[in-house]
Amino acid sequence: MQKITTEQLIEKAAELMNEGKVASVLGWEKGEFGYDVTPGIFGSVDELKAKFVYGDFSAANLSKYLVKKTEMVQGQALVFLKTERKILIFLKPCDSYSFNQLLTEHRFDREKVYAVGVQCDGMVDIEKVKKIAGDGLLSVDTSGNDVVVKTLYNGDMKIAKADVLAERCVNCKSKKHVAYDELLGETGEVIDSNRFDEVERIEKMTPDERFAFWQNELSKCIRCNACRDACPACTCEKCVFDNPKSGVENKSPANSFEEKLFHIIRAYHVAGRCTDCGECSRVCPQNIPLHLLNRKFIKDINEFYGDYQAGAEVGSRAPLVDYTVNDVEPGEVFDRGDENA
């Protein structure tokens, strides 16, 4: 499979801009060290040429930005104020699931968006690179299937990309783009991944072990809300945790009970809507494997109601909000909980 390059994406975006099809581009912007890529909005071809990048660190899922970017202001979307042209978004396969899920929930206006699906070869986790190469990275580049790093203390190094792939990419659930207006590079298939292995491992723990596992993980939480703010399923206009009138608003975990509840409540709230994009764990400054909570829900939903993938198509009814006579009886769920206990 041939790699898709930054230049190809810039060329495509420039073409659409010059044709007058799109007014701005939602993409990724170069950083200081090669790996610190920032989501960016590009308004001109010059800007694209100067700053746009697509590569192993274009990890951020951009779909959620469409909520704000196509927002209506007095009846007109922001990007429509000056022009009738659309906003261009680049979607990796997993981003396209979030894109569809947001559409299912009527969170942005599809008419104002031009989506280009881009081939994804997996994203690199810089923490994994640092574990091998050490600190003091002067540059990080990709060459074929290798990540090439120049370091201050350990010289130059070539690391197999497969060894430093992000967890969510190691367990990639799909290389298939489920939404796009046009494609750059190849699209793939849904993958029968091992993403539930870790969930199974935790299910097999005794209740005490499981409690200790989550206690240890969640006690690291600093309540920065990054998981929530990056989550494409978290698009409430006013989160209950930010609303002083809700009675549960809090800026810090007041105690260990509260810090656990925040994550559990969030997991429940996105259950059936979470596409398993993995942004929550990627952005967590404390490396809490938050995606495992969501995967547990996905696994349970699959087992109770048949396989369901949020975002696989627009308008699908999530099992938890779609009553059918074949639905599992609450008693069965209860019994199963007992078995796992």
Calpha distance 67→106 (Å, rounded)? 9
What's the closest the beta carbon of residue 91 comes to other proteins, in angstroms?
A: 16
Q: Which amino acid appears at position 17 of this protein?
A: M
Q: Compare residues 232 and 319 and give the one whose CB is closer to other proteins.
A: 232
Q: What is the largest distance, in Å, between two alpha-carbon atoms of the chain?
A: 64
Nearest distance from C-beta of residue 279 to other proteins, angstroms: 8
- Shortest distance, CB of residue 107 to other proteins, whole angstroms? 16
Nearest CB to other proteins, comparing residues 106 and 245: 245
Residue 229 or 303 with smaller CB distance to other proteins: 229
Tell which residue, 268, 308, 285, 131, has the closest CA to residue 220: 285
Question: Min. distance of Cβ 138 from other proteins in angstroms?
Answer: 6
Q: Which of residues 248 and 265 has its CB atom nearest to other proteins in the complex?
A: 248
CB of 302 to other proteins, least distance (A): 28
- The DSSP element (H or E) to which 266 belongs, if any, is helix 256-270
Report the C-alpha gap between 321 and 314 in whole angstroms. 15
Residue 91 or residue 301: which is nearer to other proteins going by CB? 91
| Distance (Å, whole) CA 6 – CA 184 | 11
Least Å distance, CB 242 to other proteins, is 6
Task: Tell me whether residue 53 or residue 312 sits nearer to other proteins (CB atom).
Answer: 53
Angle at 294 between CA 290 and CA 300, to 5 degrees: 145
Q: From the CB of 61, what's the least distance to other proteins, in Å?
A: 11
* Rounded Cα–Cα distance for residues 306 and 295 (Å): 15
Give the CA angle between residues 40, 42, 161 to the nearest 5°: 50
For residue 334, give the H/E element and its range: helix 330-340
| Contact residues for 55 (Cβ-Cβ < 8 A; gap 6+) | 6, 37, 142
**Residue closer to other proteins, measured from CB, 137 or 312:** 137
Strands (E), the chain: 22-29, 38-42, 72-73, 76-77, 86-91, 113-118, 137-143, 146-151, 156-160, 182-184
Q: Is the Cβ of residue 25 or residue 301 nearer to other proteins in the bound state?
A: 25
The structure tokens listed for 305 are 């109601």
What is the binding site for other proteins (CB under 8 A)?
A: 31-33, 36-41, 60, 65, 131, 134-138, 152-153, 216, 220, 222-226, 228-230, 242, 244, 249-254, 282-283, 285-287
**Residue 230 · residue 291 · CB < 8 Å:** no
CB of 39 vs other proteins, minimal distance in Å? 4
